[in-house]
Structure 1
Protein backbone atom coordinates (compact mmCIF):
# COMPACT_ATOMS: atom_id res chain seq x y z
CA UNK A 1 0.00 0.00 0.00
CA UNK A 2 1.30 3.43 -0.95
CA UNK A 3 0.80 6.23 1.56
CA UNK A 4 0.92 9.79 0.29
CA UNK A 5 0.94 13.21 1.90
CA UNK A 6 0.72 16.34 -0.20
CA UNK A 7 -0.19 20.00 0.23
CA UNK A 8 -3.61 21.32 -0.76
CA UNK A 9 -3.18 23.98 -3.46
CA UNK A 10 -4.36 27.35 -2.15
CA UNK A 11 -2.91 29.85 -4.62
CA UNK A 12 -5.63 32.12 -6.09
CA UNK A 13 -7.19 31.32 -9.44
CA UNK A 14 -9.23 33.59 -11.67
CA UNK A 15 -11.03 31.01 -13.79
CA UNK A 16 -14.66 31.69 -14.75
CA UNK A 17 -15.60 28.29 -13.25
CA UNK A 18 -14.47 26.60 -10.02
CA UNK A 19 -11.09 24.86 -10.24
CA UNK A 20 -10.99 21.18 -9.22
CA UNK A 21 -7.82 19.14 -8.73
CA UNK A 22 -7.99 15.40 -8.12
CA UNK A 23 -5.90 14.42 -5.11
CA UNK A 24 -6.62 10.70 -4.63
CA UNK A 25 -8.78 7.96 -6.09
CA UNK A 26 -9.03 4.33 -5.08
CA UNK A 27 -11.66 1.61 -5.04
CA UNK A 28 -12.87 2.91 -1.67
CA UNK A 29 -12.43 6.69 -1.72
CA UNK A 30 -11.80 9.75 -3.82
CA UNK A 31 -10.58 13.20 -2.79
CA UNK A 32 -10.35 16.49 -4.69
CA UNK A 33 -9.27 20.04 -3.87
CA UNK A 34 -11.62 22.82 -4.99
CA UNK A 35 -10.79 26.51 -5.35
CA UNK A 36 -13.75 28.85 -5.75
CA UNK A 37 -13.60 32.57 -6.42
CA UNK A 38 -16.18 34.77 -4.66
CA UNK A 39 -19.66 33.93 -5.95
CA UNK A 40 -18.67 30.58 -7.49
CA UNK A 41 -20.24 27.32 -6.38
CA UNK A 42 -19.86 23.58 -6.53
CA UNK A 43 -23.12 22.54 -8.15
CA UNK A 44 -25.56 20.49 -6.14
CA UNK A 45 -24.64 16.83 -6.32
CA UNK A 46 -25.81 13.55 -4.90
CA UNK A 47 -24.03 10.23 -4.59
CA UNK A 48 -26.71 7.52 -4.35
CA UNK A 49 -24.60 5.07 -2.35
CA UNK A 50 -21.77 7.16 -0.86
CA UNK A 51 -21.47 9.72 1.89
CA UNK A 52 -19.72 12.96 1.01
CA UNK A 53 -17.92 15.71 2.86
CA UNK A 54 -16.11 19.02 2.42
CA UNK A 55 -13.26 20.17 4.65
CA UNK A 56 -13.03 23.96 4.42
CA UNK A 57 -9.33 24.87 4.27
CA UNK A 58 -9.59 28.60 3.54
CA UNK A 59 -12.28 31.25 3.15
CA UNK A 60 -15.96 31.44 3.98
CA UNK A 61 -18.98 29.96 2.31
CA UNK A 62 -22.34 28.35 2.50
CA UNK A 63 -22.88 24.59 2.65
CA UNK A 64 -26.25 23.84 1.11
CA UNK A 65 -28.30 20.74 1.85
CA UNK A 66 -31.35 20.09 -0.30
CA UNK A 67 -33.40 18.18 2.23
CA UNK A 68 -36.86 19.50 1.41
CA UNK A 69 -37.93 16.27 -0.27
CA UNK A 70 -36.59 12.90 -1.29
CA UNK A 71 -34.58 13.08 -4.53
CA UNK A 72 -35.90 11.31 -7.59
CA UNK A 73 -33.85 8.83 -9.60
CA UNK A 74 -30.50 10.23 -10.74
CA UNK A 75 -31.65 10.26 -14.37
CA UNK A 76 -34.28 12.89 -13.63
CA UNK A 77 -31.68 15.53 -12.80
CA UNK A 78 -29.41 17.29 -15.24
CA UNK A 79 -25.65 17.69 -15.04
CA UNK A 80 -24.41 21.13 -14.12
CA UNK A 81 -22.77 23.40 -16.65
CA UNK A 82 -19.43 22.04 -15.47
CA UNK A 83 -20.39 18.56 -16.73
CA UNK A 84 -22.12 19.08 -20.09
CA UNK A 85 -23.92 15.92 -21.18
CA UNK A 86 -27.15 15.07 -22.94
CA UNK A 87 -29.76 14.96 -20.22
CA UNK A 88 -33.51 15.01 -19.60
CA UNK A 89 -35.32 18.35 -19.11
CA UNK A 90 -34.14 20.50 -16.22
CA UNK A 91 -35.76 19.86 -12.87
CA UNK A 92 -34.73 22.21 -10.04
CA UNK A 93 -34.26 21.14 -6.45
CA UNK A 94 -36.20 22.60 -3.53
CA UNK A 95 -34.75 25.51 -1.56
CA UNK A 96 -31.75 24.31 0.45
CA UNK A 97 -31.01 24.52 4.12
CA UNK A 98 -28.02 26.86 4.32
CA UNK A 99 -25.12 26.54 6.76
CA UNK A 100 -22.39 29.18 7.12
CA UNK A 101 -18.94 27.60 6.96
CA UNK A 102 -15.37 28.82 7.35
CA UNK A 103 -11.83 27.50 7.48
CA UNK A 104 -11.46 24.53 9.80
CA UNK A 105 -15.06 23.32 9.47
CA UNK A 106 -16.19 19.97 8.04
CA UNK A 107 -19.49 19.58 6.17
CA UNK A 108 -21.02 16.13 5.70
CA UNK A 109 -23.91 14.74 3.65
CA UNK A 110 -25.20 11.18 3.77
CA UNK A 111 -25.68 9.09 0.63
CA UNK A 112 -28.79 9.98 -1.35
CA UNK A 113 -28.95 13.65 -0.27
CA UNK A 114 -28.18 16.53 -2.64
CA UNK A 115 -25.63 19.03 -1.34
CA UNK A 116 -23.46 21.86 -2.66
CA UNK A 117 -21.02 24.57 -1.62
CA UNK A 118 -21.05 28.30 -2.45
CA UNK A 119 -18.28 30.84 -1.89
CA UNK A 120 -20.23 33.62 -0.19
CA UNK A 121 -17.12 35.39 1.09
CA UNK A 122 -14.88 38.07 -0.39
CA UNK A 123 -11.78 35.89 -0.83
CA UNK A 124 -11.06 32.56 -2.48
CA UNK A 125 -12.62 29.50 -0.82
CA UNK A 126 -10.52 26.32 -0.74
CA UNK A 127 -12.14 23.02 0.20
CA UNK A 128 -11.19 19.36 0.07
CA UNK A 129 -14.05 17.11 -1.06
CA UNK A 130 -14.00 13.46 -0.04
CA UNK A 131 -16.49 10.76 -1.00
CA UNK A 132 -16.56 7.04 -0.67
CA UNK A 133 -16.47 5.34 -4.07
CA UNK A 134 -19.91 4.89 -5.59
CA UNK A 135 -20.21 2.71 -8.67
CA UNK A 136 -23.85 3.74 -9.12
CA UNK A 137 -22.71 7.16 -10.36
CA UNK A 138 -23.22 10.76 -9.33
CA UNK A 139 -26.21 12.97 -10.10
CA UNK A 140 -25.84 16.70 -10.58
CA UNK A 141 -28.49 19.34 -10.92
CA UNK A 142 -28.72 23.03 -11.71
CA UNK A 143 -29.87 25.68 -9.25
Structure 2
Protein backbone atom coordinates (compact mmCIF):
# COMPACT_ATOMS: atom_id res chain seq x y z
CA UNK A 1 0.00 0.00 0.00
CA UNK A 2 1.32 3.50 -0.81
CA UNK A 3 2.63 5.45 2.16
CA UNK A 4 1.88 9.15 2.65
CA UNK A 5 3.51 11.47 5.17
CA UNK A 6 2.28 15.04 5.66
CA UNK A 7 5.32 17.31 5.59
CA UNK A 8 4.02 20.83 5.98
CA UNK A 9 0.86 22.92 5.74
CA UNK A 10 0.00 26.59 5.96
CA UNK A 11 -3.04 28.65 5.03
CA UNK A 12 -1.86 28.76 1.41
CA UNK A 13 0.12 25.56 0.72
CA UNK A 14 0.53 21.94 1.80
CA UNK A 15 3.14 19.28 1.03
CA UNK A 16 3.22 15.51 1.52
CA UNK A 17 5.84 12.84 0.82
CA UNK A 18 4.78 9.62 -0.92
CA UNK A 19 6.53 6.25 -1.11
CA UNK A 20 5.19 3.88 -3.76
CA UNK A 21 6.27 0.29 -4.32
CA UNK A 22 6.46 -1.17 -7.83
CA UNK A 23 3.02 -1.00 -9.47
CA UNK A 24 1.52 1.23 -6.76
CA UNK A 25 -0.04 4.59 -7.51
CA UNK A 26 -1.31 7.84 -6.10
CA UNK A 27 -4.98 7.81 -7.04
CA UNK A 28 -6.05 10.27 -9.69
CA UNK A 29 -7.42 13.41 -8.09
CA UNK A 30 -8.67 16.83 -9.10
CA UNK A 31 -8.50 20.05 -7.11
CA UNK A 32 -10.98 22.58 -8.53
CA UNK A 33 -9.29 25.64 -7.00
CA UNK A 34 -5.65 24.51 -6.63
CA UNK A 35 -2.90 23.52 -9.04
CA UNK A 36 -1.09 20.27 -8.24
CA UNK A 37 2.63 19.51 -8.43
CA UNK A 38 4.57 16.28 -7.88
CA UNK A 39 8.38 16.24 -7.58
CA UNK A 40 10.07 12.84 -7.93
CA UNK A 41 13.04 12.31 -5.61
CA UNK A 42 13.83 8.63 -6.37
CA UNK A 43 12.55 5.87 -8.63
CA UNK A 44 10.77 5.92 -11.98
CA UNK A 45 7.14 6.15 -12.97
CA UNK A 46 4.45 7.88 -14.95
CA UNK A 47 2.77 11.18 -14.24
CA UNK A 48 -0.71 10.69 -15.66
CA UNK A 49 -2.93 13.58 -16.73
CA UNK A 50 -6.54 13.01 -17.68
CA UNK A 51 -6.72 15.83 -20.24
CA UNK A 52 -8.92 13.99 -22.75
CA UNK A 53 -11.80 12.37 -20.92
CA UNK A 54 -12.41 13.11 -17.24
CA UNK A 55 -12.56 10.12 -14.86
CA UNK A 56 -15.73 9.42 -12.94
CA UNK A 57 -15.04 10.54 -9.35
CA UNK A 58 -15.54 8.13 -6.49
CA UNK A 59 -18.44 10.12 -5.07
CA UNK A 60 -17.85 11.62 -1.64
CA UNK A 61 -14.97 9.24 -1.00
CA UNK A 62 -12.00 10.64 0.89
CA UNK A 63 -9.02 8.28 1.36
CA UNK A 64 -8.52 7.24 4.98
CA UNK A 65 -6.36 5.07 7.19
CA UNK A 66 -8.95 2.30 6.72
CA UNK A 67 -8.39 2.03 2.96
CA UNK A 68 -9.18 -0.31 1.22
CA UNK A 69 -11.91 -1.35 3.66
CA UNK A 70 -13.91 1.86 3.19
CA UNK A 71 -13.24 2.40 -0.52
CA UNK A 72 -16.11 2.46 -3.00
CA UNK A 73 -16.11 0.01 -5.91
CA UNK A 74 -13.41 0.54 -8.51
CA UNK A 75 -14.42 2.25 -11.72
CA UNK A 76 -12.59 2.10 -15.03
CA UNK A 77 -10.49 5.15 -15.85
CA UNK A 78 -10.23 6.72 -19.29
CA UNK A 79 -6.86 6.66 -21.03
CA UNK A 80 -4.58 9.39 -19.59
CA UNK A 81 -1.72 11.29 -21.19
CA UNK A 82 1.41 9.53 -19.90
CA UNK A 83 4.62 11.34 -19.00
CA UNK A 84 7.68 9.27 -17.93
CA UNK A 85 9.31 10.67 -14.79
CA UNK A 86 12.39 9.97 -12.73
CA UNK A 87 14.56 11.63 -10.08
CA UNK A 88 14.32 15.41 -10.41
CA UNK A 89 11.22 15.33 -12.64
CA UNK A 90 8.29 17.59 -11.86
CA UNK A 91 4.71 16.88 -12.94
CA UNK A 92 2.22 19.76 -12.82
CA UNK A 93 -1.53 19.88 -13.36
CA UNK A 94 -3.70 23.00 -13.36
CA UNK A 95 -6.75 23.32 -11.15
CA UNK A 96 -9.72 21.35 -12.47
CA UNK A 97 -7.67 18.60 -14.19
CA UNK A 98 -7.41 15.03 -12.84
CA UNK A 99 -3.85 13.75 -12.40
CA UNK A 100 -2.06 10.86 -10.72
CA UNK A 101 1.26 9.07 -10.35
CA UNK A 102 2.13 5.41 -11.00
CA UNK A 103 5.36 3.62 -10.07
CA UNK A 104 6.30 1.80 -13.28
CA UNK A 105 9.79 0.85 -12.07
CA UNK A 106 11.06 -2.11 -10.09
CA UNK A 107 12.15 -0.10 -7.02
CA UNK A 108 10.56 2.37 -4.58
CA UNK A 109 9.37 5.67 -6.02
CA UNK A 110 9.63 8.61 -3.59
CA UNK A 111 7.87 11.87 -4.43
CA UNK A 112 6.71 15.11 -2.83
CA UNK A 113 3.23 16.37 -3.73
CA UNK A 114 2.43 20.07 -3.28
CA UNK A 115 -0.89 21.89 -3.65
CA UNK A 116 -2.71 24.85 -2.20
CA UNK A 117 -4.25 24.23 1.20
CA UNK A 118 -7.73 25.08 -0.07
CA UNK A 119 -8.81 21.65 -1.28
CA UNK A 120 -12.50 22.54 -1.33
CA UNK A 121 -14.27 20.31 -3.80
CA UNK A 122 -11.34 17.92 -4.34
CA UNK A 123 -12.48 14.73 -6.06
CA UNK A 124 -10.65 11.39 -5.96
CA UNK A 125 -10.82 8.23 -7.97
CA UNK A 126 -10.09 4.87 -6.32
CA UNK A 127 -6.47 3.68 -6.18
CA UNK A 128 -5.30 0.96 -8.49
CA UNK A 129 -8.00 1.39 -11.11
CA UNK A 130 -5.82 1.86 -14.14
CA UNK A 131 -2.86 -0.22 -15.18
CA UNK A 132 -1.48 -0.42 -18.68
CA UNK A 133 -3.29 -3.06 -20.68
CA UNK A 134 -6.36 -3.26 -18.42
TM-score interval, normalised by the smaller of the two chains: 0.7 to 0.9
**1:1-143 matches, cutoff 5 A:** 17-70=1-54, 76=59, 78-79=61-62, 82=67, 91-142=75-126, 143=129
Cα distance, 1:75 vs structure 2: 7.2
CA distance in 2, matches of 1:83, 1:50: 26
- Normalising to structure 1: TM-score of the pair? 0.75
Note if contact 1:55-1:106 (Cα within 8 Å) is conserved in structure 2: yes
- Normalising to structure 2: TM-score of the pair? 0.80
| Dislocated runs of 4+, deviation >6 Å | none
Unaligned runs of 5+ in 1: 1-16
Number of matched pairs: 125
Unaligned runs of 5+ in 2: 130-134
Q: Using CA pairs below 8 Å that are at least 6 residues apart, which structure has the higher relative contact order?
A: 2
CA distance in 2, matches of 1:93, 1:79: 18
RMSD after superposition: 2.5
> Highest Rg: 1 or 2?
1
